Structure 1
Amino acid sequence: MTRKSPLSRLLPSLLASAILASMAAAASGAPHAKPKPHAAAARKAKPAAAEQAMTTDANGQSVPVLENKAWVLMDFNTGQLLASSNPDEPLPPASLTKMMTSYLVEQGLKSGKHKPDEPVTMSESAWCRGGKDGDSCMFVPLNTQASLMDMLRGVVIASGNDASKALAEHIGGSEAGFVTLMNAEAAKLGMTKTQFANAAGLPDPNNKASAKDLAVLAAAIIRNSAEYYPIYAEREFTYNNIKQGNRNALLYTDPTVDGLKTGHTEDAGYCLTASSKRNGMRLISVIMNANSKQARADQTRVLFNWGYANFEEATPAQPGATLTNAQVLYGVAPEVAAGIAKPWTMVIPKGQAAAVKTEVTLNAGLEAPIAKGAVIGKLVAVANGKTLGEAPVVALADVERAGFFLRLKQRIGGWFSK
């Protein structure tokens, strides 16, 4: 009689165990089971927008929570902040500083003071020496010249510290002189929390700007430098046989984004000012001190998607249309048509357009003469009992003062009407 080895006696039980385990795994959807195609795609996908962390602001609005030091989302047309976090805190702006440098250059071109083809010299003080200044250079050779327009592209697209300094010296006589112009323009634009110390945004304890101020500057570029604004959407720039791509990652992934500027230093972290236009509505976002290039781009996408999903534009009244007739004392006419003089657009929570109502309040005791365009009251827009905004109401026509006898007649008539 042949005796079986211990191993041969165990084989049947081991095989049976393996078969049972395989059947159990198939029934329970174990990891080695072949996944469905959509399940594999889901594992690779980034978290959905619905998973974005949210909080509630002072107005009861649910807003995104972003990991940075400050951010704002602003409507371009109205200047209205739709949401923000630490909007007025002065922080190192890094190369977002260059927006003021490019803006001053653009305004010089617009006024005719400077020409696109005028030569700008790359001085020794502006020249990039190899890897100095974080390799953020246009790479114009020392003591050579480039056109002012090429230098402008070197600032906006390549974020060149060398181009920024060279333009500052060219326009301001020196970088210090140009910084004086930068701060004067910042004050003019109402950038109350900003102080520039250099033209490129290099680290300096005196170089500070708030997220709100930078959004204001971005709006000024879009509005006042419209002829040159398309440069901010250009994806690459080649100079001296060196091609550099625009550092704004959203230009490559979101066709609604058309500017503006990135920035990064160790103190400033990763910063991005961007603008997007969808269905005629333009939003501006500013991210300051994010922890990576990817984070600043992702956070900007979150803000734009959230803004467009939650807000819309409304026009409560048309300019020139008569809203009411205002009574006028001692005029050749007893009343004057009243309305708004300028287009009035506001941004409201999505879905509330139908609920917007307007209320006209006129100044008491209006007396002639009244000039066309004179403010005689206000128009208030409300929705669901909440005030959304207001605009001045003006006289839509002139009302001359009546002569003595007509005024006397009106005064006597007023006595008897009381």
Structure 2
Amino acid sequence: MKNKRIFLAKIIVGAVFSLLFSLSASVAQNYQSRAKQAILIDVETGSILFSKDANVAAPPASLTKIMTAAIVFDAIKNGEITLETEYKVSEYAWRTGGAPARGSTMFAALGSEISVENLLRGLIVQSGNDSAIILAEGMNGSVEKFAERMNNFGKKLGLTDFNFVNPNGLPHPDHRISASDLAAIANYIITKHADMYPMFAERSFKWNNIRQSNRNPLLSAPIGADGLKTGHSQEAGYGLIGSAVQNGTRLIAVLMGMKRETDRTVDGRRLLEWGFASFIPTDIISANTHVGSVRLYGADQGRLNVKIGEALTALVPKQSRDSMEGRIVYKGPIPAPIKEGEIVAELHVYSGIRLVVTAPLYAEESIAVGSAASRAISGLGEFFFGWL
């Protein structure tokens, strides 16, 4: 069989699912950001409220450190290490990320041993480049090995536009990640490590008799912000990952490549405020609803019915005019056999050109391998026509 192709089946969501609402693409994208790359998402529904070149990989600077934190959080949860585990400060960590480097540092003393708990606060609150290196060397022996771990973990999380070279975001031509992937990491931390996430809201941390304040400017704004991270380098510009909660709705905003520090402060707050003010949670599809069908290969029947699993909700504009459109997306044709309940496709819901939310689609029945004649017909159709 030839390589599988991406299939799209368009559905007018309002008609198929008898929705009682509509959306306006103009309302959804009327926000203007000075960031080169930006995204705003709703944590509970996964709705994308705003996107600007969000899948373009760019230098993240210290925004990198949320990935380092996520790996450490996972290691603690899995029993690999504890908050009390101590790591020694190597000369490389001290010279590259410590006081001699004159960058962001927790001022870890050369040769001292520091607990994971304090290293995490040095990483998250003080944005210590030395903290990140000490954790990387302690957990995996070297920065290079830890970067390999970061890339493997990124694949596990389903990230698509990234490459990590170090744990702190120090400039390197191959060190890149997209705003969309950074939002996914932040989402992972918030939802999977709720016990550790409050570290991002701590206003200051004192180490080696030096107290430093959290650099996140959103924490002092009255918008419900409680994390995550800032970043800056000449190459990356000014960046910000922020999360806030209002009336039970949590949003995550990522802005990258801004020219001025004040820009990220103002735009970060404005983007979150705009999200809270402009959207409202709305039910889209009830659980176990049939949404359409996908093409099959090597089966006695040509198509397979698919359905949504859990009920699907999204944040939608409060002021709306245009209808929503659902697209069944899959790599196909899908070869038999298939088990009932197996994930075979995705539903992408759009408002105009804006992707609102995605959800997996499940096979409504089991499909056995077809007869020799059916498989032969499928093969001939694929060979001569790409697909019948």
TM-score norm. by structure 2 comes to 0.72
1:100 to 55, 59, 67: 67
1:310 deviates by 1.4
1:60 to 7, 26, 33: 26
Distance 1:394 1:114, change over 3 A: same
Amino acid at match of 2:171: P
Distance 1:78 1:133, change over 3 A: farther
1:225 deviates by 1.7
Amino acid at match of 1:217: I
1:183 deviates by 0.8
Distance 1:216 1:99, change over 3 A: same
Number of corresponding residues? 322
| Separation in structure 2 between the aligned mates of residue 305 and residue 85 of structure 1, nearest angstrom | 17
Which 5+ residue runs of structure 2 have no aligned equivalent? 1-23, 292-305, 327-337, 367-388
| Separation in structure 2 between the aligned mates of residue 84 and residue 170 of structure 1, nearest angstrom | 37
Q: Aligned with 2:55: secondary structure?
A: coil
Amino acid at match of 2:163: Q
Q: Using the aligned pairs only, state the percent identity.
A: 37
The yes-or-no answer on 1:71 pairing with 2:38 is yes
1:341 deviates by 4.3
Distance 1:286 1:117, change over 3 A: same
Q: Which residue of 1 aligns with 2:181?
A: 213
Alignment check: 8 A CA contact 1:63 1:83 kept: no
| Separation in structure 2 between the aligned mates of residue 314 and residue 339 of structure 1, nearest angstrom | 19
The yes-or-no answer on 1:204 pairing with 2:190 is no
5 Å matches for 1:16-415? Answer: 59-61=25-27, 62-128=29-95, 131-316=99-284, 319=287, 341-350=309-318
1:149 deviates by 0.8
Deviation string for 1:91-142 (max 9, x for gaps)? 1100001111111000000111111101111111101577544431111111
Higher relative contact order (CA 8 A, sep 6+): 2
TM-score norm. by structure 1 comes to 0.67
Deviation string for 1:216-251 (max 9, x for gaps)? 111111122222111111111111221111000110
1:75 deviates by 1.8
| Separation in structure 2 between the aligned mates of residue 206 and residue 388 of structure 1, nearest angstrom | 31
1:289 deviates by 1.6
Looking at secondary structure, tell me which structure has more strand per residue. 2
| Separation in structure 1 between the aligned mates of residue 355 and residue 39 of structure 2, nearest angstrom | 22
Flag the structure with larger Rg.
Answer: 1
| Separation in structure 1 between the aligned mates of residue 49 and residue 79 of structure 2, nearest angstrom | 36
Which 5+ residue runs of structure 1 have no aligned equivalent? 1-57, 325-337, 359-369, 400-418
Amino acid at match of 1:293: E
| Separation in structure 2 between the aligned mates of residue 250 and residue 60 of structure 1, nearest angstrom | 27
Q: Aligned with 2:263: secondary structure?
A: helix
Q: CA RMSD in A?
A: 3.8
Alignment check: 8 A CA contact 2:59 2:236 kept: yes
Q: Aligned with 1:226: secondary structure?
A: coil
1:262 deviates by 0.5
Distance 1:80 1:143, change over 3 A: same
Deviation string for 1:9-56 (max 9, x for gaps)? xxxxxxxxxxxxxxxxxxxxxxxxxxxxxxxxxxxxxxxxxxxxxxxx
Distance 1:111 1:82, change over 3 A: same
Q: Aligned with 2:262: secondary structure?
A: helix
| Separation in structure 1 between the aligned mates of residue 362 and residue 55 of structure 2, nearest angstrom | 34
Q: Aligned with 1:185: secondary structure?
A: helix
Distance 1:134 1:210, change over 3 A: farther
1:84 deviates by 1.6
Distance 1:265 1:220, change over 3 A: same
Alignment check: 8 A CA contact 1:316 1:357 kept: no
| Separation in structure 2 between the aligned mates of residue 377 and residue 135 of structure 1, nearest angstrom | 46
Distance 1:64 1:257, change over 3 A: same
Distance 1:115 1:294, change over 3 A: same
